[in-house]
Amino acid sequence: MPLLVAGRLGDRFGPKNLYLIGLATFTAASLWCGLAGSIHGLVTARVVQGVGAGLLTPQTMSVFTRIFPPERRGVAASVGGAAVGVATLAGPLVGGVLIDQLDWQWIFFVNVPIGIIALGLAARLMPTLPTHSHRFDVIGVVLSGIALFLIVFALQEAPSNDWAPWIWGMIAAGLAMTAAFVYWQFVNQNEPLIPLRVFSDRNFSVSSLGVTVIAFAWTAMVLPVMFYAQTACGLSATRAALLTAPMAVATAVLSPFVGRIVDRSTPSPGRRLRVRPDDHLVDLAVHRDDCHRSGLAIVVAVHRNWCGYGVHRIAAVRHRDPQPAA
């Protein structure tokens, strides 16, 4: 939910200000997570951490699209993609080492010095962009917040409650609120939270759909793979993290090349890059009896999934500026 609101707040108060607030919130919440003495305190701190991440995430794309012209956004986004690749390699490995050698609290404590350094760099290097006075779509915020809460809470509680009827009722109510939100965005003429006219741009719509589908596939795959590697195959946290190493290296190496290709190529109906998730490969891997052989299949599947996500994400940034619908 903060993602939708944060984009509008960034337009109104400046992406740099929202980025700094979000980063400070995330860093402070990381310290809180490490110091939490109970599961309830940890969950509360994680909620605050999520709010901070939600505030800063939209600002990066806003800065990209406002300081780089369309013909240079591919290369700019590829630099971010390379950084993500390095972080994807270092993050799991550092996390695995910290858990194996110290304790779980240190996966949160390590964020604190990094966050402080990032705050100083962002305050000094991020440009201060012009702001725009926007109306705030309060009804849209309320409808989207209720819809997301109902659906997410129901899905989280469903397994422990054996998909009871009230779970289905909450999901149905969440879908109804989602429909009400979309309808309100359609009829609201006073700056809706999500102007639906942006989806009239084909490149924007297709890229958004591609990023969404592959992100769903990646998110649904990586957590079960980590559980499988550690519980079924008996790998340590560090060795399980190494399964993502080829993916991270490929992302860091290929992102600059993909950015240049995207900048030179204009998307068209006859020029398509086909990337598909390899869920069947992961499914085949985890059903093998030999964990050592299935590990190779998991590595290949994770690698191909993440490369597909990276390509679509860079392409999404490189579309031309959407034109208002006539």
Q: pLDDT at position 81, please?
A: 67
**Tokens matching residue 262:** 């995207």
Q: Report pTM.
A: 0.68
**Tokens matching residue 39:** 């599961």
Confidence of residue 215 (pLDDT cuts 50, 70, 90): confident
Q: pLDDT at position 178, please?
A: 92
Q: Tell how far CA 3 is from the center of its chain.
A: 10
**Tokens matching residue 73:** 């956004």
Helix axes 15-35, 39-67, angle to 10 degrees: 160
Q: 268: which strand partners?
A: 271
Cα–Cα distance between 326 and 323 in angstroms, integer?
A: 9
* Total Cβ atoms within 10 A of residue 235: 19
Report which of residues 46 and 99 the model is more confident about: 46
pLDDT over threshold 90, residue 263: no
pLDDT tens for each residue of 187-209: 888 878 888 888 888 877 887 88
Could you tell me if 62 and 7 are in contact, meaning their C-beta atoms sit under 8 angstroms apart?
A: yes
Helix axes 138-157, 165-187, angle to 10 degrees: 160
Report which of residues 196 and 4 the model is more confident about: 196
- For 45-101, the DSSP string reads HHHHHHHHHHHHHHHHHHHHHHHS-GGGHHHHHHHHHHHHHHHHHHHHHHHHHHHHH
Q: For the chain, what are the domain ranges?
A: 1-67, 70-104+197-326, 138-192
Check the CA dihedral 213-218-219-220 and report its sign. Answer: positive
Range in 132-146, 181-195, 293-307 the model is least confident about: 293-307
Q: Is 271 helix (H, G, I), strand (E, B) or coil?
A: strand
DSSP structure class, residue 71: G
Could you tell me if 29 and 112 are in contact, meaning their C-beta atoms sit under 8 angstroms apart?
A: no
Report which of residues 101 and 34 the model is more confident about: 34
Look at residues 102, 99, 127, 104 and name the one whose alpha carbon lies nearest to residue 19.
Answer: 127
Cα–Cα distance between 175 and 149 in angstroms, integer?
A: 11
pLDDT over threshold 60, residue 146: yes
Could you tell me if 322 and 196 are in contact, meaning their C-beta atoms sit under 8 angstroms apart?
A: no
In degrees and rounded to multiples of 5, residue 158 shows phi and psi of: -60, -50
Look at residues 220, 215, 190, 240 and name the one whose alpha carbon lies nearest to residue 313.
Answer: 215
pLDDT tens for each residue of 56-74: 888 887 787 787 777 676 6
What mean pLDDT is predicted for residues 114-123? 92
Look at residues 272, 278, 274 and name the one whose alpha carbon lies nearest to residue 303.
Answer: 278
Look at residues 81, 43, 57 and name the one whose alpha carbon lies nearest to residue 9.
Answer: 57
